[in-house]
Amino acid sequence: MQLYKSQNLKVYNSLSGKKEIFEPINEDHIGMYVCGPTVYSNVHLGNCRTFMSFDMIFRYFKHLGYKVRYVRNITDAGHLENDADDGEDKIAKKAKLEQIEPMEVVQRYTVDFHNTLQKLNFLPPSIEPTATGHIIEQIEIIKEILEKGIAYEVNGSVYFDVVKFSESNDYGKLSGRKLEDMIANTRELSAQDEKRNPQDFALWKRAEPQHIMRWPSPWGDGFPGWHLECTAMSTKYLGETFDIHGGGMDLKFPHHECEIAQAEACTGKSPVKYWLHANMLTLNGKKMSKSTGNNIYPSEIFSGDNDILSKAYAPSVVRFFMMQAHYTSILDLSDDALLASEKGYYRLMDAMDNLEKVKIGSTSDFDLAQWKQKCYDAMNDNFNTPILIAHLFEAVKHINLIKEGTETITEEDKAILQQTLNTFAYDVLGLENQVVVKDDSNTLDGVMDLLIELRNQARANKDFATSDQIRDKLTVLGIQLKDGKDGTSFSVN
């Protein structure tokens, strides 16, 4: 029997505003779509948090035995500045700035995205489609919405008619907004505006002569509106209705609201059974964001190369830090918080290592079946990873007592404990045991002291070729040097 049949999983559905029992549309299978990154710059740690929340959810579904098709797209066209309907395409703007092809921008930052996620031990999604690879599908959807009379064309652009749609549908139901309030709170349209109502949004935009990212369409050369790609790709790979749609909270409105409107306009059906939204990572109490510059990059955390950090942190420490918060809660990043997570992470890894070496007894002082179920209960309660981690630490406490000789464990229970810890720490939370290097720390510290000394001597002799060579070769090996006021320290990725 698949494990999920014995577990009662509840998820918080943003659409209903309630925790609901999770029942997939097709037994055994789950279709899950998550809005991916707009690849015009490096992903910051905030972006990683949202993707990591869904990586954890994907991992748990897989662990329970579901066959999951997880689609996470790459936005490589149509996302305009300020998420607006007018203005420059974020990718085209960057291409102009750097004097390269837009597709070079896309390639560069897609590679960065993959490398970063790999360092953080993400599982790859089942399908990673791109907006530019689905222009035909997007045009077909626009034709359908036009045919239904819920969109209109003006000068080569096509807009979704929110007011018309609202006559028979509830626009705003996901984000809890009312169309009347939206209308009351928006400015009047100016004479040059093409839209009939300020709430209408672009399905297709006419490309002005200087716009480089353009495709032919029945309405002339142009490009798709940002919201359309997700409707096209989720429908293509998961069907007209699918189980889970995820993304950051900031995408609820307008992006996800518009996705619902587009799909309902085409099919008359609600496209998604459970809408899941991940909360924001903040820095200095404010949302991390590419546009404000209030952000930190994963590479800075791995190298310690940022003024707010006292040292470098291993990728699994970052993962542990993220998993210590519930995915629907705001999480603030700070050096103190990372230091505390690092301590906790090593305590867990040390205990898991120690468990292998403990002596076997004839009885167990620890009710393993009950403890294991508590771990599942935490995850079944809308993926409550902080509670799960609290239970893992309960096991750590017992392991330490067994190691001291105060408690005992049977051979059979030890095997169950090891297997359950491995399942939750590695398979579900996605941690890796990065303690190996730490265990060899005496040798490593000695070798590093020597190399740092040789580098300092080279610098004192103005032999920068040698000092750079030491630093660069260490970087290739995954060891970062950090020069600070108290000398040079190092970190291992």
**Given the rule CB under 5 A, which residues bind Zn ion?**
35, 230
Neighbours of 218 (CB within 10 A): 12
Task: Please tell me the distance from the alpha carbon of residue 34 to that of residue 276, in angstroms, as a whole number.
Answer: 9
Rule CB under 6 A: which of 256-285 touch ligand AMP?
A: 280-281
Contact region with ligand AMP (CB under 6 A), list: 14-22, 33-41, 386-394, 408-416: 33-41
- Classify residue 221 by burial, with Cβ atoms within 10 Å: 0-12, 13-18, 19+: middle
Does the protein bind ligand AMP through residue 74 (CB under 6 A)?
A: no
Q: What does the block give as tokens for 65?
A: 């035995």
Q: Which residue has the tokens 């032999």?
A: 463
DSSP state of 256: I
Task: Please tell me the distance from the alpha carbon of residue 258 to that of residue 382, in angstroms, as a whole number.
Answer: 26
Does the protein bind ligand AMP through residue 289 (CB under 6 A)?
A: yes
In the complex, least distance from residue 82 CB atom to Zn ion, rounded to whole angstroms: 16
Task: Please tell me the distance from the alpha carbon of residue 123 to that of residue 76, in angstroms, as a whole number.
Answer: 21
Does the protein bind ligand AMP through residue 77 (CB under 6 A)?
A: no
Contact region with ligand AMP (CB under 6 A), list: 103-111, 216-224, 286-294, 391-399: 286-294
In the complex, least distance from residue 265 CB atom to Zn ion, rounded to whole angstroms: 17
Does the protein bind ligand AMP through residue 110 (CB under 6 A)?
A: no
Q: Out of Zn ion, ligand AMP, none, which partner does residue 174 contact, by CB within 5 to 8 A per kind? A: none
In the complex, least distance from residue 466 CB atom to ligand AMP, rounded to whole angstroms: 41
Does the protein bind ligand AMP through residue 37 (CB under 6 A)?
A: yes
Interface pick for ligand AMP out of 13, 14, 42, 50 (rule CB under 6 A): 50
Q: 286 vs 359, which CB is nearer to ligand AMP?
A: 286
In terms of Cα–Cα distance, which of 325, 317, 274 is closest to 298? 317
Q: Out of Zn ion, ligand AMP, none, which partner does residue 288 contact, by CB within 5 to 8 A per kind? A: ligand AMP
Q: Out of Zn ion, ligand AMP, none, which partner does residue 135 contact, by CB within 5 to 8 A per kind? A: none
Contact region with ligand AMP (CB under 6 A), list: 148-156, 206-214, 245-253, 383-391: 245-253
* Element of type H or E holding 331: strand 331-333
| Count of positions on this chain that bind ligand AMP (CB under 6 A) | 16
Q: What does the block give as tokens for 269?
A: 């059906």
In terms of Cα–Cα distance, which of 133, 309, 122, 139 is closest to 219? 139
Does the protein bind ligand AMP through residue 248 (CB under 6 A)?
A: yes
Q: What does the block give as tokens for 338?
A: 């990372």
Q: Out of Zn ion, ligand AMP, none, which partner does residue 355 contact, by CB within 5 to 8 A per kind? A: none
* 470 neighbors 457 (Cβ within 8 angstroms): no
* 180 neighbors 169 (Cβ within 8 angstroms): no
Q: Out of ligand AMP, Zn ion, none, which partner does residue 37 contact, by CB within 5 to 8 A per kind? A: ligand AMP
Interface pick for ligand AMP out of 14, 47, 130, 467 (rule CB under 6 A): 47
In terms of Cα–Cα distance, which of 38, 30, 54, 79 is closest to 258? 79
Q: At what angle do helices 135-147 and 226-238 cross, to 10 degrees?
A: 100
Report the residue closest to ligand AMP, judged by CB: 248
Does the protein bind ligand AMP through residue 49 (CB under 6 A)?
A: yes
Q: 35 vs 392, which CB is nearer to Zn ion?
A: 35
Q: What does the block give as tokens for 52?
A: 């990591």
3-state secondary structure (DSSP) of residue 56: helix
Interface pick for ligand AMP out of 63, 67, 211, 287 (rule CB under 6 A): 287
In the complex, least distance from residue 338 CB atom to ligand AMP, rounded to whole angstroms: 16
Neighbours of 142 (CB within 10 A): 24
In the complex, least distance from residue 35 CB atom to ligand AMP, rounded to whole angstroms: 5
Task: Please tell me the distance from the alpha carbon of residue 396 to that of residue 350, in angstroms, as a whole number.
Answer: 9
Q: Out of Zn ion, ligand AMP, none, which partner does residue 53 contact, by CB within 5 to 8 A per kind? A: none
Q: 92 vs 230, which CB is nearer to Zn ion?
A: 230
Q: At what angle do helices 315-323 and 335-357 cross, to 10 degrees?
A: 100
In the complex, least distance from residue 251 CB atom to ligand AMP, rounded to whole angstroms: 5
* 68 neighbors 126 (Cβ within 8 angstroms): yes
Residue 122 makes CB contacts below 8 A (sequence gap 6+) with 51, 52, 55, 430
Q: Out of Zn ion, ligand AMP, none, which partner does residue 230 contact, by CB within 5 to 8 A per kind? A: Zn ion
Q: What does the block give as tokens for 240?
A: 């007209």
Q: 230 vs 396, which CB is nearer to Zn ion?
A: 230
Does the protein bind ligand AMP through residue 91 (CB under 6 A)?
A: no
Peptide bond connecting 209 to the previous residue in cis, omega within 30 degrees of 0: no
Q: Out of ligand AMP, Zn ion, none, which partner does residue 224 contact, by CB within 5 to 8 A per kind? A: none
Question: In which order are the strands placed within the sheet that holds 331-333?
Answer: 286-287, 281-283, 331-333
Interface pick for ligand AMP out of 88, 170, 221, 250 (rule CB under 6 A): 250
* β-strand pairing of 18-21 with 242-248: unpaired
In the complex, least distance from residue 56 CB atom to ligand AMP, rounded to whole angstroms: 14
Q: 46 vs 222, which CB is nearer to ligand AMP?
A: 46
Does the protein bind ligand AMP through residue 32 (CB under 6 A)?
A: no
Interior CA angle at 6 toward 4 and 11, to 5°?
Answer: 55
Residues in contact with ligand AMP by the rule CB under 6 A = 35, 37-38, 46-47, 49-50, 247-248, 250-251, 280-281, 287-289
